[in-house]
Amino acid sequence: MGGLGACGRPLCCTTFLSDFVQVSIKMAKEQNLSLNSGKISGCCGRLMCCLQYEYSTYEEETAKTPPVDSKVKTPDGVGIVTEISPLAGNIKVRLDDHPDVAPKTYKRDDVKVLSRPEKKEDK
């Protein structure tokens, strides 16, 4: 039938998507999206197809980005990553020399990872 999605563009399913693959809540969680069903459900009532469509790009960009709690060296000194924006390629770092100052934003390519946080094992 057609219509407009929440993004304001014509629905993907009526314009270019022809292969409808399974979409999961895990994809929304890993993309740091709101888990409000009204925001991640399409007009058909199912999870939005774009969650799957964008997922591989999000995974690739996340792999290039130092995770939260990584120790990094920035042009301004050493600090800890407090927030990431993988698609924009940005990270926020709280500098060790200035712990009371708000975290500063850097491009991920402008920092060097000194250490990554230990992975939590599933128990």
Tell me which residue of 36, 39, 56, 42 sits closest to 3, measured CA to CA: 42
Give the residues across from 47 on adjacent strands: 41
Q: Is 86 left (phi over 0), alpha (psi -120 to 50) or beta?
A: alpha
Res 85 pLDDT > 60: yes
User: Exposure string (b/e) for 31-59, b if CB count within 10 Å is 16 or more?
Assistant: bebeeeeeebebeeeebbbbbbeebeebe
For residue 106 the two structure tokens come to 């850097």
36-67 confidence digits (pLDDT tens)? 777 788 778 788 877 777 788 888 999 999 99
Tell me which residue of 33, 42, 39 sits closest to 5, measured CA to CA: 42
Domain ranges for the chain, please list them. Answer: 12-64, 71-115
pTM of the model as a whole: 0.71
Least confident of 15-19, 42-46, 55-59, 111-115: 15-19
What's the pLDDT score for residue 45?
Answer: 79
What's the pLDDT score for residue 123?
Answer: 45
